[in-house]
Amino acid sequence: MNYTDALNLMHEYIKNEVLRRHIYAVETAMGAYARKYGEDEEKWAIVGVLHDFDYEMYPIIPDHPLKGSEILKSKGYPEDIRDAILGHTSFSNVPRVSQMAKVLYACDELCGFISAVAVIRPNKILDLEVSSVKKKLKDKSFAKNVSREDIDLGMKELGVSHEEHIRFVIEAMKVDSGRLGLNP
């Protein structure tokens, strides 16, 4: 069970490049947080890579992520990885107990939102400021399918401020901007 296996599995199931980029963003944020907290970077990256791997095949909740979790179980993925992934949707009723699960939930919607803000800017993520993201979060007509409530709850559960969490995720995503399609 390693990162390359997880990445290959995701690529097998997810063909849409936009969705892949979302998954890479979450993977990158997870890896950065693992380093920050002194946790297992490879494991956290695997959780990021696999959190939406079943989404193209099962886009309806709760099939996503329940069906995917069954596939992961059959492949021998451990419970802590599967629980963290199940916890990223409230519908699966799996509580976010581990720090890994809390970070995944706190990063998932926010990564999508930051990408949405960055992609329409001339310099994309290169010079994106926290204030621009905060401003767009208040603009309910922007990326209205991204749940502000989920983003707020994720930060609350993780015990991080809007300012520090948004800054941390932006900086993590900047490092991986090429793969995320967010270079100018």
Cβ 155 to Fe ion shortest distance, Å: 16
Instruction: Tell me whether residue 70 or residue 129 sits nearer to Fe ion (CB atom).
Output: 70
Nearer to Fe ion, 113 or 168 (CB): 113
Binding mask 37-76 for Fe ion (x = CB under 5 A): ---------------x------------------------
What is the C-alpha separation between 60 and 66, in angstroms, rounded?
A: 10
How far apart are CB 122 and Fe ion at their closest, in Å?
Answer: 26
Tokens of 48: 């990021």
Q: Looking at beta carbons only, is 83 or 108 nearer to Fe ion?
A: 108
Q: Categorise residue 36: left if φ over 0, alpha if ψ from -120 to 50, beta otherwise.
A: alpha
Binding mask 99-128 for Fe ion (x = CB under 5 A): ---------x--------------------
Residue 128 C-alpha from the chain's centroid: 19
Q: Does 150 bind Fe ion (CB under 5 A)?
A: no
Q: Which two tokens stand for residue 161?
A: 């401020």
> For 35-184, where are the E strands, in sequence order?
none
Taking the least distance from each CB to Fe ion, the nearer of 63 and 135 is: 63
Give one DSSP letter per residue of 78-98, joined into a string.
-HHHHHHHHTTSGGG-----S
**Contact map string, positions 130 to 149, toward Fe ion, x by CB under 5 A:** --------------------
Angle, CA of 31, 74 and 44, to the nearest 5°: 10
List contacts with Fe ion (CB under 5 A): 52, 108
